[in-house]
Every structure is written in structure tokens, then in C-alpha cells.
Structure 1
Amino acid sequence: MLKWLLLCGFLCLASGNHFPLRVKRHLPQIKGDSPHYHHDPNDIDVLTMVYIVGTDDTPLPFIPDTTSADIELTLCTSLNYPDNCYDYMESDDFVQIDEHTASDRFIDTNDMEQIWTFITRKPVTPAPGSIGFGFPALQKYPHDTYWPDAYVNNSLEAKTLTMHITQKGCTGVASYGTNQICYIRNFHDNYTFYLPTTSKLYWQFAMDSVQIGKVKTTTGGHAVIATNKEYIGMPKKFLQQFAQAYGIQWDGLYGAYTVECKRNLTLPDLQISVADGNTIKIKATEYVYTWETLPNGMCVLNFEDSKAFGFGPEWYFGIQLLESYCVTLDFDKKQMSFTKNFWILNPHYDPCPH
């Protein structure tokens, strides 16, 4: 049963406020007949936002999704519902608009009540809700609420979303309207660089080249930030070249490339060269999944074939990017910024629940 460990009463995204969430990581599973090893969807809960919904003031977790632009909410379909759905029958303000959408009362980060329209879905889903932070062109229905606009209408804050995750991966923090959380724990290198978006749909940026040790592509391309992915997606050819160069095998039993867990200290950095001579680096300590080992003692490599398992783009970066960088998405300027992430929990005072 999903156990939400909520460390804030509801979403705190205003200036100076942020929301953390600590969850127990679960061992990934092979889903159905899929040949691909998928992480437990609850792993992404480190970035969960909590909102108060309905006239009965129900606190509900929402997962931020940069590959969507819709608010989605899972409705309980019977009295024997799981924990990760919304009992809409308890709210006097709930209105079913059509077969796909509904509206209800939400309390925003400024304690203001609003009626928001959202897409309804049926159980079972990883969390009761998700909030889309892609661009409006991604909206499935034009009348549903676009969260960034709804928030700014009741706030003087800038239209920005900032996110990062501890390097151990068990706690995430987000802030709306300010990127100051990028500097609170950063005493080493406050350098921040900016990249313009190259898509009307996604938070996508241009790449000059991509390199992992001996393997390099200089053809450039574009990459998307995908907070709903536990993998880094890349072209199959590049992935196979990397695996061959470093003796990494595909494990058909688990449906993933696997390595000895200790190789997270020896495999090369993933380096993405971008504009103005800047480089995005993701270390093997982030792309080797050491949070939970496999029954055979090996660890999953968090790389996947983007064509086989992705959502369209050739390259995309999941939550490993947010372990490496504090990332700010600026909706008005259509740009994203990257500040090196040095956030490591003190194991004596704030241990990861592993």
C-alpha cells in the first residue's frame, strides 16, 4: 500500500517556501509482458506536491510532469478504492463536466480557494494526481486549468519552477517564483548558465555533442527534461556503443543493462556540450541505480532506448538530471537555468530511508 510521507501540509511553492518529501524507494519491477525493467513509479514521488482538494479539505499528492500541460486527478471508482485516488463524492463542489474532465475546489499556495478544471482518470495510478509543467500547446483539452497561469494569477511571484533532488535521491525540493533554493546549500560553485527552449511543447534544449568516455557523437540534437522518467533516454546506437565499449551486458531476465554496483565509482561521466561552452555532466553515481540492488547483486543502468521506451524525443533526461543540477524553468523567458547541485543529506541528522 502506498504510504505518503508528507512533510508539508500542502504545496509550498511561494518565494522562500518549498516542499520536501521523503519516501522509501522500492525495487523496480518488470511490468506485465514488457521486456524492459521499469522502476517503481513511486520513485518519482520525491518531487510530489500536496494540494488541498474539495470541500472536505482532502490533502492529495500531485507529481510534477514536464512532459504534460494538464492537471490530472484519479477518481475513486468504488468504496473499495486504493489510497492513491480522490473520493470526489465527499466534495460538494465537484462537478463532472464531461466524460474526460471535471472541476473542484483547490486551495493554492497563498491559501486562496479556486475552482480548477482537470482531466479525470481511473485507478490505479502512481499518485492521485499530476500537474503538467509543459507548455500550453501540450494541453489535451483547452478548457482545463493550466497550473502556471492559475498560480501566477494569485501571486506576485515570477513564473518560474525550480527543482532539485538530493544526491542520494530520497528527498526533493521545488520552489515556484524563485530559484533561491539553488544557492541555500551551495557553498562550492554558484555558477548558473541558461539555455533557451527549442520547442513549443517541451522544456527542450539544443546540444552540440554528447560524450561518455570513449563514445561521442558530434551531430548535436535536442534533449528534453522529463520529470516523469527514471531513465535517461538516448538513441539505441549510442547506447549499444557505450555498452560495448565498457563491457556492459543486457540482462534479459530483468530487462535492463546491468553493472556491478561498485562501477558507479569508475564509469565515465555523461557529458553534454551546450551553448556558450557550457557542459552538463551527470556522474555514474547518478546514472547507476544503486538505491536498490537486484537479487543477483547487480545494479540497473539508468539508460534506455528512447525509441523503444520513450515518448518521442531522441534524448531526454529524467530525475538524474535533478540530482546533478538545480534546474529552473522560466515560463515567461522560455529558458531554463542550471546550477550545480551539492545537496547531500547529513546521514546522522537526516538519513535516507533505505
Structure 2
Amino acid sequence: LYHKYLDDQQIRRGQVLKKGSQPLMDYYDNFYIGNVTIGTPDQTLSLLLDTGSSNLWVIDADCDSNACGGYLTGLFTKYGFNSTKSSSLSTQNTTLFILYESGEWCGGPLVNDVVSFAGNHLIERQGFVTAIDIADIYGYMPLDGILGMGWPALSVGQDTTPMQNILPSLDAPLFTIWMDRKLSPSMGGNDGLITYGAIDTANCHSEINYVPLTSESYWQFPVDGFSIGIFSDARRGQVGAISDSGSSWIWVPTPVMDGIVNQTGAFYDQTNQVYAVPCSTMMVQPDLEFTINGIKYTVPSVEYVLDFGLGPEEVKCILAIFEIKAGGFGPDWIFSDTWIRTFCNIYDFGQKRIGFATAIHSRI
């Protein structure tokens, strides 16, 4: 039905198809944020562009909680969306609560307004939440909200998703995400790109390996095996992973986390609740090796050992890897920004597949 929707929209619009690109701002190689304009006149907001969800929400300017104001004083200013200043806004006379599997949440009135992103692609009537209550963790993140780029099945509520609205106007129903890597702590600056309707040939190598999706909800695909150093985790049956640009670190099963800690010599930093290694080992830790659809993919340690400036160089680089606790109904693995920095991800709605191409970096 979703593919029929795309075909019908293509015919109805009868317009010249387009492609576009959108720079991403890089915060500590931990958050990649894009500017989105909403309302009339335009209000520019910095949003997390998230392939792991499908709703659009923004902090309402009237939200008076500490989280809405932000805790990153001097590092990032949260602006919020002032709905009273938009002449094109209409209300839906209802509210919506969005709860993510990771536990974050937001809630507030549902409205419709003009939204522009994806290289100035304009959506004249996009439904979204103006959040007046948000999870406290968002106060520590350099964002004004989230724009979901997943499949319609992930959407909460009845509104057409932003991606559903722009796909029919693109040259092809796909987009490419490329993320760059900085070797030292940095706040902001254009160090990533989303290319809509086309493959990013400037930042991604030409060889692309495609994998069929196992569902049309998350960007989910099977993983055959994993190894690091002398540790390996090969499953008789394939396990599931998702590509999630809204997550900063790779999430792995508990036995794999134990193996990674053992092979890297990492120790647990109780204060920051992360695994840490000496920064001097950033380039020499063993590779993460994944087997997907019979092809081996290597993530070097320079991609998963990050310097957040947490302390002396000899002790305070972190492993950008988290443990997924057993017992949930979600995926076995979450391949996040750490993965996307290493391999450009091509999200193909039309062919129901995801592609991986080695990313090009100038600094590593």
C-alpha cells in the first residue's frame, strides 16, 4: 500500500522531480544536527534527523521546564518554535505523547504548518507536535526537536510523516547519509550531509552493497556475525540490526559488550557511566568486524574511540559502544553514528533495502 501511495502521489503532482542536500552540524562526533525551517515567516530550528523514528516534534517556545531551556549553557542555545508568530499554523485540537524505545519522550499539542528541509523541499501542511513537556535528557542535547526519517509504521498518530510527504518529489525515493569524523572535541560546524533523491558520490565510494530490509518499520537488516581481536560472535541464525542516525553509539548484546571490553582493555568510568581507554590507543585498538549478507565490514578503532574532553588524555577517551540489556522486543544491534561515519548509509524506500558504501574522510 505504501508503494502504491508513492506511485499515486507521483502521478498527481506531475511535477519536475528534484534532489537536494542538507548539511549536518557535528557536535563531538556524538550528535549530527540539521537545520529545518517551520512556519511563516520562517523559524529555523536545529533538529536531530533520526532514521530510527518517524514523527516530527519541536520544543514549544512556551515550554518553561529546565530541559526545554537546555543545560548546555554557552555551548548551544535552544530556541524553540513560537507558534503564535506563524501565520500559516493551524491547530488540530488534540495532543500527542511520543515515547521512544530508549525511554525518551515528549508531549504537546498537534499542529499543522509549513515545513522546509531536504534542500528547501517545502511541505505546505505538515503535522507535528509542539512539545511543552520533554524528557530531561533532551536538556543536555544540542537540539530543538527531532525529525523522524523512518517508515510510516513507526509513526505515532495519524499524520502523514515528513518523509512520506517529500518522497514523491524526489528523483528517486531514497536518501544518503554521510557523517564526517573529527579527532578532537568540537562543537558545531558542517561535518555531515544528507543527500535526498540520489547517492552521495562526493563523500561515498562508488561500490555499494545492498541488503534487503527485514521489515518496513525500522531500517532493519540481518547480521551474520561479529568479531574483535580473538573474540567472535557468529550466530547459527541471523540476528537483527537497525541503522539509526538518531543514536550516537553502537548498541550490542551483553556477550558482545563483554568481549569488546576484554579485547580493548577498557575500564568502566563510574562518573560518566561509559567504558574508557587511553586516548593514545585511539588508532591501535582492534577493529570491529561485522559480517552482513556474506560481506565483511570493518569499523576501525578511530571511529569507535572518541575524545569527549572528559579528562587527562591518558585515561579519558571513551568507547562509543553501549550494551543492550536482554529481554526486550527491539533489535539485537543498533548501528548508529559510529557505523554511519564508517559507511555511508543509503536508505531506499522504493526498493525496500539499505545500502552501505565506504565513507570518504579527509582527516583520518
The answer to whether residue 154 in structure 2 is matched with residue 138 in structure 1 is yes
Deviation of 1:324 after TM superposition, in Å, equals: 0.4
Structure 1 unmatched ranges of 5 or more: 1-12, 27-42, 347-354
Greater CA drift, 230-239 or 118-127: 118-127
On the 8 A contact 1:210/1:217 being kept in 2, the answer is yes
The answer to whether residue 110 in structure 2 is matched with residue 93 in structure 1 is no
Over 3 Å counting, the alpha-carbon distance change for 1:19 and 1:107 in structure 2 is closer
Which residue number in structure 2 is paired with residue 64 of structure 1?
49
Please give the per-residue CA displacement for 1:125-174, whole angstroms capped at 9, x wherever unaligned.
Answer: 442232111111111102x2311221134x14211011011132761100
TM-score, with length taken from structure 1: 0.79
Q: How many residues align?
A: 307
Letter in 2 for 1:279: K
Over 3 Å counting, the alpha-carbon distance change for 1:107 and 1:236 in structure 2 is closer
Greater CA drift, 57-66 or 221-230: 57-66
Letter in 2 for 1:20: P
Letter in 2 for 1:285: V
Query: In structure 2, which of residues 286, 311, 319 is the aligned counterpart of residue 295 of structure 1?
Result: 311
Query: In structure 2, which of residues 187, 195, 201 is the aligned counterpart of residue 175 of structure 1?
Result: 195
Greater CA drift, 107-116 or 325-334: 107-116
On the 8 A contact 1:248/1:259 being kept in 2, the answer is yes
Which residue number in structure 1 is paired with residue 23 of structure 2?
20
In the alignment, the residues of structure 2 paired with residue 177 and residue 53 of structure 1 have an alpha-carbon distance, to the nearest angstrom, of: 22
Query: In structure 2, which of residues 234, 244, 262 is the aligned counterpart of residue 226 of structure 1?
Result: 244
Q: Where in structure 2 are the equivalents of 1:92-241 lying within 5 Å?
A: 92-97=87-92, 98-100=94-96, 101-107=110-116, 109=119, 112=122, 114-122=124-132, 125=138, 126=141, 127-142=143-158, 144-153=159-168, 155-168=169-182, 171-179=191-199, 181=200, 183-185=201-203, 190-219=206-235, 220-241=238-259
Over 3 Å counting, the alpha-carbon distance change for 1:270 and 1:115 in structure 2 is same
Please give the per-residue CA displacement for 1:9-55, whole angstroms capped at 9, x wherever unaligned.
Answer: xxxx952x4222445539xxxxxxxxxxxxxxxx41x3x33232112
Runs ≥4 in structure 1, deviation > 6 angstroms? 308-311
Please give the per-residue CA displacement for 1:192-229, whole angstroms capped at 9, x wherever unaligned.
Answer: 11001112321111111111111111114111111111
Please give the per-residue CA displacement for 1:73-118, whole angstroms capped at 9, x wherever unaligned.
Answer: 2211169974331011111222231122211122454564501111
In the alignment, the residues of structure 1 paired with residue 35 and residue 157 of structure 2 have an alpha-carbon distance, to the nearest angstrom, of: 23
In the alignment, the residues of structure 2 paired with residue 314 and residue 244 of structure 1 have an alpha-carbon distance, to the nearest angstrom, of: 20
Deviation of 1:313 after TM superposition, in Å, equals: 1.9
Letter in 2 for 1:61: S
Over 3 Å counting, the alpha-carbon distance change for 1:114 and 1:191 in structure 2 is same
Query: In structure 2, which of residues 319, 326, 343 is the aligned counterpart of residue 325 of structure 1?
Result: 343
On the 8 A contact 1:193/1:339 being kept in 2, the answer is yes
Letter in 1 for 2:320: N
Q: Where in structure 2 are the equivalents of 1:271-286 lying within 5 Å?
A: 271-275=289-293, 277-286=294-303
Structure 2 unmatched ranges of 5 or more: 1-16, 70-77, 97-109, 184-188
Deviation of 1:293 after TM superposition, in Å, equals: 2.9
In the alignment, the residues of structure 2 paired with residue 239 and residue 105 of structure 1 have an alpha-carbon distance, to the nearest angstrom, of: 44
Please give the per-residue CA displacement for 1:206-265, whole angstroms capped at 9, x wherever unaligned.
Answer: 111111111111114111111111111011122112212442221222211110012121
Let me know the Cα RMSD of the aligned residues: 2.7
In the alignment, the residues of structure 2 paired with residue 252 and residue 156 of structure 1 have an alpha-carbon distance, to the nearest angstrom, of: 47
SS of the aligned residue for 1:218 comes to strand
Query: In structure 2, which of residues 54, 58, 80 is the aligned counterpart of residue 73 of structure 1?
Result: 58
Letter in 1 for 2:193: V
Letter in 2 for 1:99: T
Letter in 2 for 1:133: M
Please give the per-residue CA displacement for 1:288-322, whole angstroms capped at 9, x wherever unaligned.
Answer: 112x2322432111111112899932211110112
Greater CA drift, 103-112 or 124-133: 103-112
Letter in 1 for 2:301: A
On the 8 A contact 1:70/1:139 being kept in 2, the answer is yes
On the 8 A contact 1:71/1:145 being kept in 2, the answer is no
